[in-house]
Each structure stands twice: as structure tokens, then as C-alpha cells.
Amino acid sequence: MNDLLSWKNTSLKIDSKIDENAVLIEILKNKEISLRKDDSEYTLVNQEFYYIFEDEFINQSKNLNEIITKYAQKNYDKLCQVYMPDMKVFRDVEAISKDKNSYERIIKENRIDGDRRNFPISLNVLNEVLDNNNLKSILFIDILILFGLATTSIYNAEEVKAEFRIEDKCYRVELNILDSRPLYLYPIYDWIFNDEEYDESYNVKLQVVRQVIINKNDINNVDGILEDSKLAYKRIISKKTNEYFEQLNQLKDDFLILSQNENSSLRTLNLTFFAWLGYLGVELFKIIINYKGEDIISYLLFSKGAKKGIVLLMFIVGLCFIFIGYVLEIKSLEKTYKVIKGIYKDKILFETDLECENKFETTIKKPEVGTLQKLVFSIIFIALFVRFCQTFPW
């Protein structure tokens, strides 16, 4: 069907000579939707209460101003319907347009330089009627959301330049309606404008989101921005006034120190283990050089003697000391980890729920004795212990 559609500005041109188009014309007439007829061609102007081939319109359009104009002319205050081309029926739009007024108020407070400075649009409705798999439609929603999130926006027919600024800190992002990838910002928008704990809570949430984006100097990690924003907002509504972002930066510093100490412990283990292995190799080399018999393999693996038992016992004890020292260092780091975790929950989050636990666990990984280290130690220990037992004259 897409190949049979043509557009002039925001109006759809329908050639009635094409069978599939003739079916569409009949459906529109049955809904008493006004059509202008010119010979065999019908024109469907932008409809106030109906959404018809909206994704196709966005895909073919190269003018951002034209797309914004089309959706600013829609009526979001009354029941609307969207056309389902696969089933050739209309269905009611279920989304609630309660976000529209809040969005408009935010837009008026922001500095926007473009053909339009007011956007009487419900993004809740657009998010439902537009195809979530259509990249350009999602990008258009991202641009509208960006107008609300950013403190300053400049746009023309193709490009949008947005700036987030708080005092002397700022972050800038640019999007192009023709070739940019979508950011998928709607979850942030949904949390700000639809999840209201109290009247006009969106103002506080908006400021929090702006601060998080500026601090991260990034807008692409939507999940991370949303998670940090929720945690910061939770502290604000709990009237905890310590600086969240300074403490979060301190948490990152603690994470780096903990990681460095864990790496240092592993490096120490490797050095002492290879030193131990080198000494074992030297002893084996001496045995091989001094051996006068014919079957050196049998001698190394099965020969008996108290001296050999003592030497093997020394190597076993040395190996145990090396591994025990490594385990003790990791246990010490685990204690540090628990202290940091306690400070994080008590002074940064003031909460102990599952969401906070997950946030901490994804930020700082608990120090643990590595599986590879345990496996190597076990294999070598068992091999040496078996060989030690063979030295006894049973």
C-alpha cells in the first residue's frame, strides 16, 4: 500500500483507478470523512480526529516544520481513531492526553528558535498511534521530547540543536530528521509527565533529568539517565538535602579504588604463583639432570622416598600459603565493599529496597575469589597431594 500513496504537504493524494485505493476511498466515505475529488484523484486533507497512514507521511517527509504542523493541527482533547490498514478498520485511540497541558507549559518556559514556538501536541497519543518499529517516527517523537527537556532549542526544516544548561554547565545534542538514529526518549517523558506523585511534580522531575544529563554529558543511555533520575528524585521528595551527585561521584571513586585493590591482589597472586612455579621447575630440572636411570617419567611420577615426600610437602605448604594469602586479601576487600555499600544506602539512597540494591550491585561488583584461580589451585593441590602420598612405602 505504501507505494500507492502520494502526499502534497500534509494532504494524502489517492488515485481511485487503483483497486486497493478504491477500497480505501469507500472506507473513508463510510466514516463520513471529507474527500476532495478531482477527476479520478481524491485528496484527503489532514484530519483533526483521525490518524491515517501517519508513519507513511513521516517517512516521505523531508521537512520537520511540515511534520510538526500536521500534528499540531490534531485534536487531542476528544476521542480520536487510527486507521489499521492491515485489517481495513478504524480503532479508538486509548492513550490519555493528560500530558498535553503540562508539555505545553514546559515548552513556553523553554527558549525555542524555529518556525513554531508552541506545540499543542500530546506525545502520549503520538506514541500510541505511530509505529514503534518505524525509526523515523520514533525520531520525530524524540525531537518533540527534546524540545521539552532541553533549556534551549534551535531547529529548521531538517536539523535540531538542543542545549541543556544549568548555571555554567551545559550539554549539547544535535539531531537530523533525515539521517539521525532515534534516542528512544519516551520512557523519560513518560516518567516526567505521566507518573505524577503530586500536582506539577513534572517540574522537579524535569530539573532532575536535566541535571543528570549534564552530569553524565550524554543522552544516549536512556535507561541509565532514567534510573539515576528516579534515585535523585526519591531523595528530593524524602527531604534529604545532601548533594546526591557529589556522593555519586564519591561512589565512583570508591569503585575505582576497590577495583584497583582487587587487581593488585590478583597481580600479587600471579607473581607469587609464578615464582613458586619457577622454583618447582628448577627442582624438577635438577632431578632430571642428576637422574642416571632409563625411565625418567616413572621416576618422577611413582618413585618413593622420605626426601621426595618432604620436598613435595614444602611445595604443598608454599602453595597453600600463597592461595590463603590471596583469599585473605579478597576477604578484606569484601569488608571494604560492605562498608561502601552501607554508606551508599544510608547516606545516598536512604532506602534498602530491591531497586537500590540492584543499582549498587550494577555499579560496584562484589570482590570474589575467581573461579579460574580456585580451579587451578585445586588441580595443582590434588596432583601434588597424590604424588606426596605415593612417596610413602605403603
The per-residue pLDDT for 349 is: 47
Phi, psi at residue 371, to the nearest 5°? -60, -40
pLDDT value, residue 205: 94
The answer to whether the beta carbons of residues 214 and 169 sit under 8 Å apart is yes
pLDDT digits 0-9 by tens, 127-144: 999 999 999 999 999 999
pTM: 0.64
Res. 225: pLDDT tops 60: yes
AA letter at 12: L
Percent of the chain with pLDDT over 90: 46
Question: Mean pLDDT lowest for which of 200-204, 213-217, 256-260, 334-338?
Answer: 256-260
Q: What is the C-alpha separation between 243 and 211, in angstroms, rounded?
A: 12
Tell me the H-state helices in the chain: 19-30, 54-60, 64-72, 99-109, 123-129, 135-149, 186-193, 201-216, 222-237, 244-290, 296-302, 306-343, 354-363, 371-390
**pLDDT value, residue 350:** 42
